[in-house]
C-alpha cells in the first residue's frame, strides 16, 4: 500500500549560487557527512547537492509534513548502493513520523529516484507499506 508520494524540482544554478554565497554553512546545515563526501567527489558538486535537496523536499512531502513539524534537513539523507541506486535513510523526527504512518503488521520502505538535466534536478519519493511475512 502507498503511504505517501512526493516530488520536487530544484534549479542547479540556484544551488550553485547558494554554495558560492554560504559554502560550508549551507552544506553543514542541510547535508549529512556522507552526502557532503559524495558531492565533494563529483565533478558537478552543485548538481549532486541539488538532487539531494530535491530528495529531501520530496521526502518531506511524502511524509505529509513538508519541512515543518520538527523535521530537520539531516533527518533525511540520501546515499547510494554499490549499484548506484539511491536510497533514503530517515532518522530523528522523520523516522518517528514514518513509524506513526506505518500500519501495524507492516514495514515501511522509502523509494527514491533522482535525475538531472542541467539546469534542473528532480526527485521522486514513494513510501510503501509492505505486510511483514
Alpha carbon distance 51, 92 (integer Å): 22
> What is the pLDDT at residue 70?
67
- The C-alpha cell at 53 is 535537496
What residues does each domain of the chain span? Answer: 2-131
Strands (E), 39-105: 76-80, 86-90
> What is the pLDDT at residue 124?
98
Pick 2-131's CATH classification: 3.40.190.290, 3.30.70.1060, 3.90.470.20, 2.60.40.10: 3.90.470.20
In the chain, which residues have pLDDT < 70? 67-70
3-class DSSP assignment, residue 81: coil
The owner of cell 554560504 is 22
pTM, to two decimals = 0.94
Amino acid at each position: 500500500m502507498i503511504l505517501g508520494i512526493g516530488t520536487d524540482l530544484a534549479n542547479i544554478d540556484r544551488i550553485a549560487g547558494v554554495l558560492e554565497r554560504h559554502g560550508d554553512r549551507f552544506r553543514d546545515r542541510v547535508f549529512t557527512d556522507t552526502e557532503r563526501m559524495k558531492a565533494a567527489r563529483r565533478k558537478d558538486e552543485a548538481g549532486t547537492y541539488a538532487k539531494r535537496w530535491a530528495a529531501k523536499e520530496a521526502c518531506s512531502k511524502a511524509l505529509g509534513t513538508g519541512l515543518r513539524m520538527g523535521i530537520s534537513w539531516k533527518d533525511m539523507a540520501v546515499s547510494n548502493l554499490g549499484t548506484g541506486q539511491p536510497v533514503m535513510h530517515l532518522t530523528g523526527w522523520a523516522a518517528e513520523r514514518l513509524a506513526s504512518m506505518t500500519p501495524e503488521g507492516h514495514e515501511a520502505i522509502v523509494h527514491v529516484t533522482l535525475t538531472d538535466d542541467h539546469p534542473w534536478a528532480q526527485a521522486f519519493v514513494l513510501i510503501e507499506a509492505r505486510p511483514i511475512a
